[in-house]
Amino acid sequence: MQFVTAHGARIPALGFGVFRMSDAEVEQVVPAALEAGFRHFDTAQIYGNEAALGRALGASAVRRDDLFLTTKVWGDNYSADRFAASVDESLDRLGVDQVDLLLLHWPGDKVPLADQIGWLNEVQASGKTRFIGVSNQNITQLRQSVALSTAPIVTNQIEMHPYLDQSAMLAAAAPSGTTVTAYYGMADGAVPKDAVLQEIGARYGKSAAQVALRWLVQQGVIALSKTARPERVAENFAIFDFALSNDEMALISGLARADGRLVSPEGLSPNWNE
């Protein structure tokens, strides 16, 4: 496993996400993920499966100190009376006293960013999370968050895959030492079917999905993988025994297109061009 370091955080470069997974799927696949070597797990309040993830991790023999656990506060809880209380509820569901990383899930358009960051700082100061970050922010919002926050913003978790050019975000995040965490790396199923990625993978005995994950981590990005099928977990993890050439990296980046963004819910998403 490779690690990404930022502001004292040492984050496994490959994480396991449980978005759109039922409790049963989480409890079935997480043991396989742990066996494969995953130690970084990513969930969120809105996923509805924090408790299932907590049970699966708690039942394992892996020590809590060896895990990196992330969850996210949903926008409905962006208020003075709900923010900290919702984090307490998340910790209870996860069966831990503290998460490693707590993120604002979406910026939304109802609550000032200064308030969101203020509540995030308060929770971090209370010891309920080791590190804090944001998710789905545009460049302007990320810069504002860094300026507003009394604690370092460790990451911005965003949609990132070969069809969406996020080079501007990577460049904007670097000066503050903020990392980028990539979700939707399979582009909703398009990546495994991509002929270019399949061809590159064939050179290394790897799948197109493995090539895309390698492309992400080779840029210094933290990549979240996902599968509900235990038999596929080991494949997702096996991306650290090969390296893409500079030409291959450029070829994959060249797959980006103007309409590559897939996730942009109304009322939650910012103006991506800012």
Spatial contact of 245 and 253, defined as CB atoms under 8 Å apart: no
User: What's the Cα-to-Cα distance from 111 to each of 76, 138, 147, rounded to whole Å?
Assistant: 10, 16, 17
**Residues 6+ positions from 135 with CB-CB distance below 8 Å:** 72, 103, 104, 105, 106, 156, 157, 158, 181
Q: Based on the residue annotation, tell me whether 47 is a catalytic residue of this protein.
A: yes
Closest among 268, 270, 263 to 108, alpha carbons compared: 268
Q: Which of 47, 163, 183, 184 is catalytic?
A: 47
Rounded (10°) CA dihedral 62, 2, 139, 7: 70
User: What's the Cα-to-Cα distance from 163 to each of 16, 97, 107, 167, 188, rounded to whole Å?
Assistant: 21, 39, 23, 12, 11
Query: Which tokens is 165 given?
Result: 């050019």
Q: Has 7 been labeled as part of a binding site? A: no
What is the rounded distance in angstroms from the CA atom of residue 121 to the CA atom of residue 105?
15
What is the rounded distance in angstroms from the CA atom of residue 188 to the CA atom of residue 209?
11
Q: At what angle do helices 113-125 and 139-148 cross, to 10 degrees?
A: 50
First to last CA, the chain: 34
Query: Which tokens is 199 given?
Result: 């061809």
Catalytic residue IDs: 47
Report the binding-site residues for substrate: 105
Report the binding-site residues: 105
